[in-house]
Amino acid sequence: MVLDALARLTEERVDHRFKGLPPDAAGLTVGELAAQRRNLFTGGFTTPVLALSAERLEHNLAALETYAERHGLAFAPHGKTSMAPQLFQRQIERGAWGITLAVPHQARVARAYGIRRIFLANELVDAAALRWVAAEQDADPAFRFVCYVDSVRGVELMDAALTASGASRPVDVVVEVGAGEGARTGVRTEAECAAVADAVAGARTLRLVGVAGYEGEVPGADPERVRAWLRRLVALAVDFDKAGRFAGLDEIVVSAGGSAWFDAVADVFAEVPELSAPVLKLLRSGAYVSHDDGHYERLTPFNRVPREGGLEPAFRLWTQVVSRPTAEQAFTNAGKRDAAYDLDLPVAKVVRRDGAERPATGIEVTGLSDQHAWLRTSGEADLEVGDWVGLGLSHPCTSFDKWVLIPVAEADGTVVDYIRTFF
């Protein structure tokens, strides 16, 4: 079923919906276009066009697989980063336990492409979505769904909706521990955590299976503060277990791990003591799949512990110089509609002219309009109208969502695949 669903992606017809693809490919299926192995630079692609590096993508997939195995962690990468079923499947093939998601739509996409285990890193109180979860669980005994609870009110809403739906299997939940005052979601105190757990125990439609949270929201995050919060998370799991809250479980879930502090997660989760059932230590980093040329490049734990490996920026947004009004200024034809800009502006990496590529020396992106990038150029910049400029992007979560069909190109420009996204 999974392979059939993925195969159907290759049957979609190429047309005007997919920006950057060759106009003369209209009418071909995605599979037929991929089989042509066109070159990104000479095969008729139009600018702007976003591409993923085939080699760097494979490197990143392998890097986190190896890291999780080395540290005895299960891995449920956050799929909201890409919302790309083809990448979900590659992550599962690389040993991922399942896929982490954030909202019901994302879970429905994952299920449509055969994902058997979903960790929803959010409290789910939407009655329609809960009816869907109940139906999915009842129809497929192998489907595993886990989500957050962070309030007694949320538990009550979940229980009411699931009871009304006639759910026959309880929904597994984990108490979300907030990262501190001023952080995002999550229960703030241990007493409140216990109250939420008590509410779950009183709900026939829910089953408490562990604790979880997101260390990236720790105020003033640094190694000491992050590890202190993670130890608090582990201590809560230990206390819940001593109180018998996990009685009868086959495994206890303890989960954390964004893309900035997975080294701290690995260190602290290695300290988890023996509990009444085996512990599923679930890491959820997702941005690694493409990495970036900004935010996560600076924050990756591999910068702190380089002996553990490394990640490589896999995105390149190719845009073209359309105006050179002064010696200090140029404009390319990609803007806010094409490039992530919520955390950092794109970075000019390379320039291509007549098939030759060189570093983008003396070129800085200073702003984005809807469909233009503003470039400041120094005397070192050799830049002309018509040149292609390759931009590095920050924050993959808001790069994938701007492109629904992304070419995957090898180092020489040969396009070997197309990644479909669903945002």
Q: Are 390 and 399 in contact (CB under 8 A)?
A: no
C-alpha of 181 from chain center: 26
Number of domains in the chain: 2
Whether residue 2 is predicted with pLDDT greater than 80 in this model: the reply is no
Residues 134, 274 share a domain: yes
For 310-355, what is each residue's pLDDT tens digit?
999 999 999 999 999 999 999 999 999 999 999 999 999 999 999 9
273 in any annotated domain: yes
Residue span of the structural domain in which 264 resides: 116-285
State residue 372's pLDDT score. Answer: 98
Q: In the prediction, which pLDDT does 180 show? A: 87
Q: Are strands 144-149 and 117-123 parallel, antiparallel or unpaired?
A: parallel
State whether 253 and 351 are in the same domain: no
User: Are 244 and 334 within one domain?
Assistant: no
Q: Do 191 and 257 share a domain, yes or no?
A: yes
Q: If pLDDT is split at 50, 70 and 90, which confidence band does 231 have?
A: very high
Q: Is the pLDDT of residue 256 over 70?
A: yes
Residue 168: partners with Cβ closer than 8 Å, 6 or more residues away:
134, 137, 138
- 357: Cβ contacts below 8 Å, ≥ 6 apart: 350, 351, 390
Task: Clarify whether residues 280 and 321 are in a common domain.
Answer: no
CATH number at residue 414: 2.40.37.20
Average pLDDT score over the chain: 97
Residues 279-308 have a mean pLDDT of: 96
Query: What is the Cα–Cα distance from 300 to 289, expressed in whole angstroms?
Result: 12
pTM of the model: 0.96
- Condensed to tens digits (0 to 9), the pLDDT of residues 213-226 reads 999 999 999 999 99
Whether pLDDT at 281 is above 70 = yes
CA–CA gap between residue 80 and residue 401 (Å, rounded): 9
1 band by pLDDT with thresholds 50, 70 and 90: low
Indicate whether 216 and 277 sit together in one domain.
Answer: yes
Answer yes or no: do 124 and 40 share one domain.
Answer: no
Q: Is residue 92 part of a domain?
A: no
Residues 349 and 387 in one domain: yes
What residue type is assigned to position 275 of the chain? Answer: L
Got the DSSP string for 147-192? Answer: EEE--HHHHHHHHHHHHHHT-SSPEEEEEEBP-STT-SSSB-SHHH
- Give the CATH number of the domain where residue 233 resides: 3.20.20.10
* Same domain flag for 207 and 318: no
Asked if residue 170 has a cis previous peptide bond (ω within 30° of 0), the answer is: no
Q: How far apart are CA 112 and CA 130, in angstroms?
A: 17
262 and 199 both lie in a single domain: yes
- Joined together, the tokens standing for residue 127 give 């009655």
Show the tokens assigned to 249: 């479980």
Distance linking the first and last C-alpha atoms of the chain: 22
Which of 285, 301, 331 is a domain's end point? 285
Q: Is residue 197 part of a domain?
A: yes
Q: How far apart are CA 107 and CA 273, in angstroms?
A: 32
Q: Is residue 132 part of a domain?
A: yes
C-alpha–C-alpha distance, residues 234 and 232, integer Å: 5
Quote the CA–CA distance of 308 and 318 in Å, as a whole number: 31
The CA distance from 292 to 225, in Å, is 25
Residue 365 has pLDDT above 80, yes or no: yes
For residue 297, what pLDDT band results from cuts at 50, 70 and 90?
Answer: very high
Within-domain flag for 84 = no
The pLDDT of residue 411 is 97
The Cα–Cα gap between 391 and 350 comes to 7
Q: Residue 202: inside a domain, yes or no? A: yes
d(CA 60, CA 174) in angstroms, rounded, equals 29
Sequence-distant (≥ 6) Cβ neighbours of residue 265 within 8 angstroms: 73, 215, 230, 256, 257, 283
CB burial of 381-409 (b: ≥16 within 10 Å; e: otherwise) equals bebeeebbbbbbbbbbbbbbbbbbbbbbb
- What are the DSSP calls for 384-416, one per residue? -TT-EEEEE-S-GGGTGGG-SEEEEE-TTSBEE
pLDDT per residue as tens digits for the range 38-79: 999 999 999 999 999 999 999 999 999 999 999 999 999 999
Q: Are residues 237 and 333 in the same domain?
A: no
Q: Is residue 297 part of a domain?
A: no
Task: Note the pLDDT tens digit of each residue in 121-158.
Answer: 999 999 999 999 999 999 999 999 999 999 999 999 99
pLDDT in tens, 106-128: 999 999 999 999 999 999 999 99
